[in-house]
Structure 1
Amino acid sequence: MTIPLVVGVDGSEASLEAVDWAVAEAARHTVPLHLVHAAAPEQEASDVIDAASERAGEGAPAVRLSSEVLQEDAASALIGKGRNAFALVLGSRGRGDLAGLLLGSVGLAVAARADCPVVVVRGPAEHREGRFGNVVVGVEDGEGSDTAVEFAFREAHVRRCELVAVHAWSAPIGTPSEPPPGAWYALEAHRRPPAQVLDDALRGPAEQYRGTPVSRRVVEGQARHALLTAASGADLLVVGAGKRHGHSGLQLGLINHAVLHHAPCPVVVVPQI
């Protein structure tokens, strides 16, 4: 049985935008779509899930659709469903969240604790509807972004668009800010040149997804700024998150928080396996 794409709905406009995005995503990957609504009075819950189901059915009649109402808190319900999901899809702000919050409390809790990729659907229609023709992925030095890179390649492949791989680096204190043209100025001895970090991360997935165009961006500076800049012209931003040592859940660092709160396009947080 194919595992479903799960989308959380609460009747807010943001969650309905998430349903629209999830419908298109389920159709692209030929997976079922499962709508989940949690923690509401019975009649209200029925109205919310029925409205979301009707909207999903109109968006892609061929997608296999199911729905469920769970009497528990929304974050726990979605995290539980994420243990057997293609991905979890959420709106950027829930109905019960304060207007001043940039990311809803449920979205942040789910992104930090889910076992599967979590998509937070953000941004205006041109970003949500895939009008830019590229997927951006953040690449770290080491193995922290391997799973995220594979996910991003698959997304670019099914969307038939370009993958933009971004790696940001900073020179050690005391080194010249402008190294000689064409040269990579020495960082710490144990670190790889930034261009090699990208090449190593992309090599395997590029073999698997031949024909997917790839653009490499090496940026000196903060990764948060580099990713948000790249996302300004993207349909999707993909970042990785490592497991929290000694605790359940993911280690959402400054980069993850920055893109979840400020990205102009949908964001995917992919757990590192």
Structure 2
Amino acid sequence: MNLPVVVGVDGSEPSLRAVDWAADEAALRGAPLRLVYASLWERYEGDALAEDLGKDSGQVIAEDIVQAAGQRARLRQKDVEISTDVVPEEPEYALVRSGRAAAVLVLGTRGRSGIVEMLLGSVSLSVAGRADCPVIVLRGSHDNQVRAGKQGRVVVGVGEKGTSSAALRFAAEEARLRDATLEVVRAWRCPAHETTDHPLLAGEPARLHERHAAEVLDEALKAVPADVESSRRTMEGPTRRVLLAASQGADLLVVGARRGSGHLGLQMGRVAHGVLHHAACAVAVVPERT
């Protein structure tokens, strides 16, 4: 049986749009969809919402939020098997645990109010930095691009690991499912101490670094399945800036996040953290085991 696509639900509009994305993702994968609501979200906004609806907060959480999200998913993808789960835990813990038996986790980034907006943003970052499976975080209104042919580009940043990259494998599969082009990107920089003032040697260090980046991409592309259309791009500059530029007009930007055994706290890195905040499309953070 295929592992499910799991989506975090909190009743906010961005989380419901994440349900749309997750339902489409499940349909493309032929996988079940699991909607997870962490009940301790009630601590932050359940009472106010309950008062608006004239119900106690328990009823709001159990009936309105989960039921509405499940109904939305069924209307979106009627052939997808859907289940819901209310978990009596803090959302980051519940979602990270759910990700241990998931193909992918899908999250929105914003809540219903300014205070909750910051809270749910921190939840998304926390889950992306700890989960054992790929985590797709939807940014702003970039939340309806999962259907095949929307933009036609899945972008992945490639490091020195090249063909062994879990991020590359995930990106290739996403491109295949969407019938999209996989764009493999490698950033390169010429260290200042390697520059020279000699007119005959000017530019040679930069060409060497660019050539090495191209060689890394050539090796990485060997691992891309034959049925996935792919292209490569080398760009000079810091990795975060290069990937943010490449995210323009893309369906999905995929980045790796190193996970080391025995480490606590966020394990994501500055590049993944930066693109989660500023990318022009949805971002998938894929764990890379070290």
Give the corresponding residue for 1:167.
186
Kept after mapping to 1: 8 A contact 2:162/2:219: no
Structure 2: 5+ residue stretches without partners: 43-56, 197-201
- In the alignment, structure 1 residue 197 sits paired with structure 2 residue 216: yes
- Separation in 2, partners of 1:112, 1:217: 27
Kept after mapping to 2: 8 A contact 1:144/1:242: no
C-alpha deviations, 1:49-76, integer Å up to 9, x for none?
A: 0010010000000000000111110111
Aligned residues: 265
Give the corresponding residue for 2:29.
29
Higher helix share: 2
- In the alignment, structure 1 residue 3 sits paired with structure 2 residue 3: yes
Give, in angstroms, the shift of residue 13 of structure 1.
Answer: 0.9
Kept after mapping to 2: 8 A contact 1:121/1:128: no
Question: After alignment, is 58-67 or 169-178 more displaced?
Answer: 169-178
- Separation in 2, partners of 1:5, 1:133: 22
Normalising by structure 2, we get a TM-score of 0.84
Give, in angstroms, the shift of residue 173 of structure 1.
Answer: 1.4
- Separation in 2, partners of 1:83, 1:126: 24
SS at match of 2:250: coil
Normalising by structure 1, we get a TM-score of 0.89
- In the alignment, structure 1 residue 185 sits paired with structure 2 residue 204: no
C-alpha deviations, 1:112-139, integer Å up to 9, x for none?
A: 1111111101243586355211100011
- Separation in 2, partners of 1:212, 1:144: 15
Structure 1: 5+ residue stretches without partners: none
Residues 106 and 118 of structure 1, relative CA distance in 2, 3 Å threshold: same
- In the alignment, structure 1 residue 86 sits paired with structure 2 residue 108: no
- What do you get for the CA RMSD once the two structures are aligned? 2.5
- Separation in 2, partners of 1:241, 1:51: 33
- Separation in 1, partners of 2:274, 2:96: 22
SS at match of 1:216: strand
* Pairing partner for 1:139 from 158, 162, 169: 158
* Pairing partner for 1:211 from 210, 215, 227: 227
The structure whose Rg is larger is 2
Give the corresponding residue for 1:263.
279
Pairing 1:230-241 to 2, within 5 Å after superposition: 230-241=246-257
C-alpha deviations, 1:22-45, integer Å up to 9, x for none?
A: 011000000000000012342121
- Separation in 2, partners of 1:202, 1:102: 39
- Separation in 2, partners of 1:222, 1:144: 22
Kept after mapping to 1: 8 A contact 2:153/2:251: yes
